[in-house]
Chains A and B, each alone.
Chain A
């Protein structure tokens, strides 16, 4: 989708018009892992969409009307309905659009995916803390915590004896957690998965998934973004364009 490489909108930009019928819009940022969840679901379900990238270091005033928290991702449909919180957007898309269901129909299997999602829940903030680390002590402490969290996920795969977290094919839970695993390499955190073999196999299998591979970001582009983002540069979000 060409919209994915559009320059981000910042302060002073004109608010976008209504969403045309037959399309859904996602307010996003090219490097945001939360927005990547939504983009993965849009891709996996083949949903026609347009992307408006937001400059998260210089947010447009109008964006707070889309989401009072000012965060991406946000979905906007042609009825003007707004949906935010990445997991909620993903579930909305699965329910509202036909085609391949990413969440299971079976109530227990669906609940199981949500319980696994809870098991994953500490990882985003650990990775974020790792990015902001000040010294080597922080680093080893955080890596140890990350290893612990990875072991919990390893246990799920070992008990289920399936390739993916929801069974033998990719489903919602895999897409919800993938963005952080994609970033391990560029953050030099790959060794945290050294003792979790099933998880490593899962990561390799995910890279083969069409939606995942279509949305992969080149490590050097991500590094360029990260460097600018950590310096709070307003140009970070458009790095590589």
Chain B
């Protein structure tokens, strides 16, 4: 995988300018938000380089890329910086030729953006479930809330009667949702999909997508990362990389 590089931390040298013909993404191998942008880079066949950031030990120079040191951030050869995962994904779709991930039709584009609003509680809820479980706490209420959000998404698929959220082919909205669904199993909350068959079909269809497949994170490696992360081990981010 292009992103199989060690994370840069405090004291690391700032990277040089981005070579022409390439775009750079500042990322972290297990971050769901950066995952969105990596999916789009892959889906559109955009030549890119990945610089992983140690999120528990951020390089001082990284704050010149993002005021709060967040990922993902795109940097192009004109030194332009783009952040917020959704903004980065749209930028890539607009700036690069080839397959368009957002529809051309203004109403269909708006629909995808409205669907994204429906999704907004999911990242927070999945993270809270993960933290609760890892800290040995109960999370029945959180899982109930997450199931409710999944029911809302189920309703959309039922109403549309399509496999994917944008129609019968995979499109931007599916890639924007995917990272959290990929993590349900490794977070220990895959049973939250028990009552949403259309959503389960969607996840199965997503796993057949070449882009999703190419970026799928090995479950054992992810678990290894999570174990170290919850022990506050700063080497967590490099778990699974060859020594």
* Interface of A toward B, CB cutoff 8 Å: 77, 79, 81, 83-85, 88-89, 91-92, 95-96, 107-108, 110-111, 114-115, 118
Stretch at the interface among B83-91, B142-150, B234-242: B83-91
Shortest Cβ distance from residue A140 to the other chain B in the assembled complex, whole angstroms: 26
Given A107-B94, A108-B95; A91-B110 close (CB under 8 Å): yes
Bound CA–CA A96/B117 (angstroms): 21
Shortest Cβ distance from residue A21 to the other chain B in the assembled complex, whole angstroms: 16
Given A107-B91, A107-B95, A115-B87; A92-B110 close (CB under 8 Å): yes
Bound CA–CA A79/B114 (angstroms): 18
Bound CA–CA A225/B166 (angstroms): 41
Residues of A within 8 A of B46 (CB): none
Q: Which of A96, A107, A108, A114 contacts B106 (CB 8 A)?
A: A96
- Give the one of B76, B84, B90, B110 with max A CB within 10 A: B110
Shortest Cβ distance from residue A206 to the other chain B in the assembled complex, whole angstroms: 24
Residues of B within 8 A of A107 (CB): 91, 94-95
Query: Is residue B113 within 8 Å, beta carbon to beta carbon, of the partner chain?
Result: yes
Shortest Cβ distance from residue A113 to the other chain B in the assembled complex, whole angstroms: 10
Closest to B82 in A: A111
SS class, residues of chain A in contact with chain B: helix
Query: Is residue B109 within 8 Å, beta carbon to beta carbon, of the partner chain?
Result: yes
Shortest Cβ distance from residue B107 to the other chain A in the assembled complex, whole angstroms: 5
Shortest Cβ distance from residue A143 to the other chain B in the assembled complex, whole angstroms: 23
Bound CA–CA A118/B78 (angstroms): 22
Query: Is residue B220 within 8 Å, beta carbon to beta carbon, of the partner chain?
Result: no
Residues of B within 8 A of A114 (CB): 84, 87, 90
Asked whether, in the complex, the Cβ of B87 is within 8 Å of the Cβ of A83, the reply is no
Closest to B80 in A: A108
Asked whether, in the complex, the Cβ of B117 is within 8 Å of the Cβ of A85, the reply is yes
Interface residues of B in 66-121 (CB under 8 A from A): 76, 78, 80, 82-84, 87-88, 90-91, 94-95, 106-107, 109-110, 113-114, 117
Q: Which of B80, B94, B110 contacts A88 (CB 8 A)?
A: B110
Interface residues of B in 1-60 (CB under 8 A from A): none
Shortest Cβ distance from residue B210 to the other chain A in the assembled complex, whole angstroms: 25
Closest to A96 in B: B106
Q: Besides the contacts A85-B117, A108-B82, what 14 more A-B pairs have beta carbons closer than 8 Å?
A: A85-B114, A88-B114, A89-B110, A91-B110, A96-B106, A107-B91, A108-B80, A111-B82, A111-B90, A111-B91, A111-B94, A114-B87, A115-B83, A115-B84
Bound CA–CA A31/B61 (angstroms): 45
Interface residues of B in 113-171 (CB under 8 A from A): 113-114, 117
Shortest Cβ distance from residue B158 to the other chain A in the assembled complex, whole angstroms: 15
Asked whether, in the complex, the Cβ of B84 is within 8 Å of the Cβ of A85, the reply is no
- Give the one of B78, B90, B106, B113 with max A CB within 10 A: B106
Asked whether, in the complex, the Cβ of B90 is within 8 Å of the Cβ of A92, the reply is no
Residues of B within 8 A of A84 (CB): 114
